[in-house]
Amino acid sequence: MSEARALYAPEWLTYPEHPEALSRTIWTDSFTRNEQGELCIDGVTVSDLAAEHETPQYVFSETTFRARARAYRTAFEQAFAEHGAQVSVYYAGKSFLSTAVARWATEEGLCLDTASGGELALALRAQVPGANIALHGNNKSEAELARAIRNGLGRVVADSVDELKLIECVYAELAAERVAEGEEPYAPVPVLIRITPGVHASTHESIATAHEDQKFGMSLQPGTAALAGLDEEELEHWGVESTDSYAALAAAILNATDSLDFRGIHCHIGSQIFEAEGFEQAATTALEFMNRLNRDLGVTLPELDLGGGYGIGYTEADHPRSITEVTESIAASVAATCERLGMAIPHMSFEPGRSISGPSGATLYTVGTIKNVSIEDENGEIRVRRYVSVDGGMSDNARPVLYESDYSVTLANRAPAGEQVLSRVVGKHCESGDVVVRYCYLPADLQAGDILAVPATGAYCYVLGSNYNFLTRPPVIATAEGKPSRVMIRRQREEDMLALDMGSDI
């Protein structure tokens, strides 16, 4: 999103000639309107959802989640099968994770990507097999790594030389404990190293992760090996010589460490990306580096993970590519690069998160205060904008504040007929930046008590939630075609928050 925002309305926002219509770029087929014009989610009306579970609430469609998870797995498998290669698809749990979601992903044939000890604990609670779990993170703790080793995780994605040293140390301690107990040591830890491919993805700076000046990954730039800060004694410990890049040095160290199993390379260029070029460029860079390591280290690295980051539709300005377009373009690029380099296509893996969970969710709010304000537009003309306050806000969706993200909205409890008025949906927090939907049209007869639905909130909304102003966190309600709604994550109570306060007499 550009830093220069429209004062009154952006060019992409058009007056809705059919306000009841649900754009299939933004709303999946799980979201429909009944004959009365009320929004239904997997056949359940929003008025029933609000009556049973109150608002605000996140509604999460199991039907959509399973369909999109299955579609990604099938599309990637078919696209790479044409080139004689195999694929694993990891659901990126950081976008939204619960025990139910972890189970759904597993049942649809996906592995699970975790980014912290807490996400890993939840995955294990959901009984996801350790071999199907990956652990990410740029600053993993000893406890997180120990949990990963004890549970036989399928991969740990290392982010630095310091982390490789830490993994080796933690493994040695655990191995000593096992030997002391008369048991065999754990198998070597399967490790991928995360590289920085230098791709400048077209997305918000905060979610672009492949350029040099940021916290993730290891540089491929010549001369960066010295940044690891290793002295001659440490290099001698691993029996390696200093190399030109940080990533090459990390690879040499990893390859020389018996307790670690060097499985391959990982890279991820960012999130909410629509263009194909960035993914293709990252694939080429990663494969060229992988081919060089195979030659220089005398190995054949078996795995390459190209991350995720595929964009979804939030507003009418967005034009996401289909799942088939995404998978086929990446497969073709990987196959062409491998053929040029004379190497076999490694086992590929990918990590869609937002593009599975995002369209699966919507947030329901109840309208409260409505007021009109006067503003001066770009031409100096005085215009009116209507501010619609709802019973949630930045505590349940921080993305507009963090990333200047735009969303859509619709009147949900009845047909949004008649004149439509330019509006801004805002929350109830003590912040002027507490905006839920910055630019939208809503019916002129909107009134307090109406229910609004904001689509595409299944990713990075609940997981980024907070208790700002001591608002309780909303529940996550699961729907599925032919089933009644179920509470997936219960509503937080005031007692839950207050229980963390240890009292005044401490």
Amino acid at 120: L
- The values of phi and psi at residue 365, to 5°, are -125, 155
> Distance (Å, rounded) from C-alpha 415 to C-alpha 317?
24
Per-residue DSSP letter, 474: P
Helices (H), 181-315: 232-238, 246-255, 277-297
Answer yes or no: is 494 a known binding residue.
Answer: no
> Distance (Å, rounded) from C-alpha 375 to C-alpha 418?
24
Residue whose C-alpha is closest to residue 42's, from 27, 25, 23: 27
Per-residue DSSP letter, 57: E
Answer yes or no: is 321 a known binding residue.
Answer: no
Alpha carbon distances (Å) from 273 to 17, 202, 208, 209: 29, 6, 9, 12
Extract the runs of DSSP E, i.e. beta strands, from 142-188: 155-158
Answer yes or no: is 403 a known binding residue.
Answer: yes
Active site residue 111: no
Considering 111, 169, 267, 430, which one is annotated as catalytic? 430
- The values of phi and psi at residue 414, to 5°, are -160, 170
Residue whose C-alpha is closest to residue 262's, from 196, 193, 350: 193
Q: Three-state SS string across 126-147, please? A: CCCCHHHEEECCCCCCHHHHHH
Alpha carbon distances (Å) from 189 to 71, 163, 247, 309: 31, 13, 19, 27
Answer yes or no: is 309 a known binding residue.
Answer: yes
Answer yes or no: is 351 a known binding residue.
Answer: yes
Residue whose C-alpha is closest to residue 171's, from 193, 195, 140: 140
Q: Is 456 left (phi over 0), alpha (psi -120 to 50) or beta?
A: left
- The values of phi and psi at residue 31, to 5°, are -105, 120
Answer yes or no: is 56 a known binding residue.
Answer: no
CA 459 to chain centre: 6
Burial of 441 (0-12, 13-18, 19+ CB in 10 A): buried
b/e burial code for range 174-210 (CB count within 10 A of at least 16 → b): bbeeeeeeeeeeeeebbbbbbbbbbbebebbeebbbb
Q: Three-state SS string across 424-436, please? A: EEECCCCCCCCEE
> Distance (Å, rounded) from C-alpha 314 to C-alpha 215?
27
Alpha carbon distances (Å) from 366 to 47, 342, 363, 411: 11, 60, 10, 10
Q: Annotated binding site for substrate, which residues?
A: 354, 399, 403, 431, 460
Q: Annotated binding site for pyridoxal 5'-phosphate, which residues?
A: 309, 351-354, 460
Residues that are catalytic: 430
Q: Annotated binding site, which residues?
A: 309, 351-354, 399, 403, 431, 460
